[in-house]
Amino acid sequence: MAMYNDKVMDHFTNPHNVGEFDNPDGEGTYGSPVCGDMMKISILVDANDVITDAKFKTFGCGSAIASSSVATDMIIGKTVEEALEVTNKMVLDELGGLPPIKIHCSVLADHAIKSAIYDYAQKHGKTYAGLEGFDPNAPEDEDEHAIPEELN
Ligand code: FES
């Protein structure tokens, strides 16, 4: 257990925003090419483009659960454009760090959020600068697995 800090353990044992909506405004699933774990994120978006609620389901490890828990907390109340600025590095910072071999678990949350927003944008005919070049089906960039310097 010493592998994880208290905040990670807290979000793992008592995750926020677990589940899904009957009629989500956007939803996205992402499977990690590293481990095969899956994450699904669903969002509700109001007329002002604010994410009013977000939920996740994961067939993933404890770090993926903790990452999705904080990541969904972070995007609720943000506009779609602001939510697109949330990076896996910010999720990691919010968690107080993950062991280096678990960094990709936070990438899973980051990609699932972008996939959910991509779905929302497609269904509502919207475009966002933060989605430019994002392809939900594209293989993950190798350098996204790079370990942030402070965790090395
Ligand atoms: Fe795959 Fe954590 S080990 S998401």
Q: pLDDT of 117-130, one tens digit each?
A: 999 999 999 999 99
Domain coverage including residue 109: 15-125
Q: CATH code at 27?
A: 3.90.1010.10
- Which of ligand 1's atoms lies nearest the C-alpha of 102? 2
Residue owning the nearest CA to atom 4 of ligand 1: 105
Q: What is the mean pLDDT of residues 92-121?
A: 93
66, 15 contact by CB (below 8 A): yes
Q: How many domains does the chain have?
A: 1
119, 81 contact by CB (below 8 A): no
d(CA 125, CA 141): 27
Q: Is 35 a catalytic residue?
A: yes
Q: pLDDT of 58-98, one tens digit each?
A: 988 999 999 999 999 999 999 999 999 999 999 999 999 99
- Which of ligand 1's atoms lies nearest the C-alpha of 101? 3
Q: What angle do CA 50, 54, 59 make, to 5 degrees?
A: 150
Q: pTM higher than 0.85 for the full model?
A: yes
Residue 142: inside a domain: no
Residue 85: inside a domain: yes
Residue 10: inside a domain: no
How far does residue 144's CA lie from ligand 1's centre (Å)? 14
Q: Is 61 a catalytic residue?
A: no
Alpha carbon 130 to its chain centroid, in Å, reads 15
Split at pLDDT 50, 70, 90, the class of 115 is very high
Residue 136: inside a domain: no
Residue 8: inside a domain: no
